[in-house]
Amino acid sequence: MTPAVGRIRQGGCLGGSVSSSVQRRLGTADAVVLGLAAMLGTGVFAVWGPAAAAAGPWLLLAVLLAGVVAACNAASTSDLAVAHPESGGGYVYGRERLSPGAGRLAGVAFLVGKSASAAAAAGVFGSYVLPSAPHYASLVAILAATALNVTGVRWTSRGAYALVGGTLAVLVVVIVVGISGAGGSDPAAAPSAPVPVTGGLLGTLTATGLLFFAFAGYARIATLGEEVRDPGRTLRRAVAVALGVSLVVYLLVGIALLVGMGADQLAQETSPLVALVDSGNAPGLGVLVRVGAAVAAGSALLSVLVGISRTGLAMARRGELPRCLEVIGPKGTPWRADLVGGVVTVLLTVVAGPAAAIALSACSVLVYYAVINLAALRLPISARSWPAWTAGLGFVMCVGLAVLLPLAQVLITAAALAVGWTACTVLPRR
């Protein structure tokens, strides 16, 4: 059900007359860059150590499997985004193709997962920019990103161009240093209690779930369904291009880390990209990687916060979040939803560190895509550009990978989703 364009809502939380339609002003390149800003962000600087500890020498297989899951999910996402070209992503797809409850679950999973992802990005930014007081730098980054989003998505996309370009440049340096053997690990800096490497099939699948966190940014593209020109062409192309670029980059980075450090040493590192280039024959490049990590985290933060507000906008339009969040300001953005997303991210940043935030995000996002794949199975043949088996495979792999994550992460995610789903069901009725 597509909202009427140009509809005017009277009142809201603070009163006044405002439009509730979002302007269509983004092209394919804008959507690709916003997706890359989310995918080439926090994960590439934070997820390799835990993934290597789980997969061991099978790390590259885990990257490929994560790419397969992402491709299946991307196929379902692009078909659904064309069928429902409006803000909201999986929340809209689940509601329209399955049931209001399924859509509500997808919406809550997205909000929980992406809020945690934004908090993780802010935490990485703070730890690299101001290690002595990371929370202060994290909060400043969140406030700046929220201000850009309120100003308008055009500004966010322009900023993302520069940020994605800088991140790619830093990753190219890491790839060259690792593959050429110019960098390496410093044995003196290795921890006294090595992290055990799991390996095997279960370990590889656990690593796949963790690495999928790094791929999941293409959901950001789907939430732009109401803001892109020619959604039928733009969304499919943007999702495919962004996913393809990210898969190639992650494979190359994984090869560089394994060649330069080895699986055992990689598993011990909390900042493996810095460790790779900050010793051996390339010590000065560590500063560049630290700057790149801050740039990438800022890029991801900008992109993810926009996706949070657009899903909040879609849920508010259907009364499952406060109606005041559907207000569109003079700049053509849901500024109240932007502000609320910023506040939630601030709270998560204060109470949880980057590692805990990544764990919560990974499990929540897998649940979100499980709903999307089920919704894609309900599309008529005429609305598909991909066979139905891709959606079925995506659903099975999402559920399986979510269950195989560490038990503590699964339980925390289940509790958060249950509380959020109940609140969105009960509170509007009251």
Return the closest-CA partner of residue 156 out of 170, 144, 168. Answer: 144
Per-residue exposure over 266-303, b if at least 16 CB sit within 10 Å of its own CB, e if not: bbbbebbbbbbbbbbebeebbebbbebbbbbbbbbbbb
pLDDT confidence of 280, banded at 50, 70, 90? low
- What single-letter DSSP state applies at residue 98? T
pLDDT confidence tier of residue 23, bands split at 50, 70 and 90 = low
Query: Is residue 3's pLDDT more than 50?
Result: no
Q: Higher-confidence residue: 33 or 247?
A: 247
Structure confidence at residue 102 (pLDDT): 92
Residue 12 or 426, more confident: 426
> CA angle, corner 101, sides to 95 and 103, nearest 5?
35
> Is the Cβ–Cβ distance between 113 and 364 less than 8 Å?
yes
Helix (H, G, I), strand (E, B) or coil at 26: strand
Helix (H) or strand (E) holding 18: strand 17-19
Q: For residues 45 and 358, give the distance between their C-alpha atoms in angstroms, rounded to a whole number.
A: 12
Q: Write the CATH number of the domain with boundaries 24-429.
A: 1.20.1740.10
Cα within 13 Å of Cα(154), Cβ side: 6
208 pLDDT above the threshold of 80 = yes
The dihedral region occupied by 240, where left means phi > 0, alpha psi between -120 and 50, and beta the remainder, is: alpha
Q: Is 328 helix (H, G, I), strand (E, B) or coil?
A: coil
Query: Smallest Cα–Cα separation from 295: which of 155, 124, 417, 149?
Result: 124
pLDDT for 192: 42
Residue 250: pLDDT over 90: yes
Of 44, 355, 51, 49, which is closest to residue 185 (Cα–Cα)? 49
Asked whether 382 and 342 are in contact (CB, 8 A), the reply is no
Please, which pLDDT band fits residue 248 given cuts at 50, 70 and 90? very high
Q: What is the DSSP letter of 10?
A: E
Concatenating the DSSP letter of every residue in 335-370 gives HHHHHHHHHHHHHHHHHS-HHHHHHHHHHHHHHHHH
- pLDDT category at 429 given cuts 50, 70, 90 is low
* Range of lowest pLDDT (178-182, 219-223, 252-256, 351-355): 219-223
Do 37 and 164 form a contact (C-beta atoms < 8 A)? yes
Q: What pLDDT shows up at residue 386?
A: 81
Kindly report, residue by residue over 143-163, the tens digit of the pLDDT.
888 888 887 755 456 666 777
Q: With beta carbons less than 8 A apart as the criterion, state whether 357 and 99 touch.
A: no
At 230 the three-state DSSP class reads coil
Q: 6-10, 235-239, 363-367: lowest mean pLDDT where? A: 6-10
**pLDDT the model gives residue 384:** 80
Q: Model's pTM, two decimal places?
A: 0.79
> Cα(154)–Cα(164) distance, rounded to whole angstroms?
15
| 8-22, 346-360, 403-417, range with the lowest pLDDT | 8-22
Mean of the pLDDT values across residues 184-209? 66
Rounded Cα distance between 368 and 371, Å, is 5
Written as one letter, the residue type at 353 is G
CA distances in angstroms from 206 to 121, 250, 354, listed in the order given: 22, 17, 19
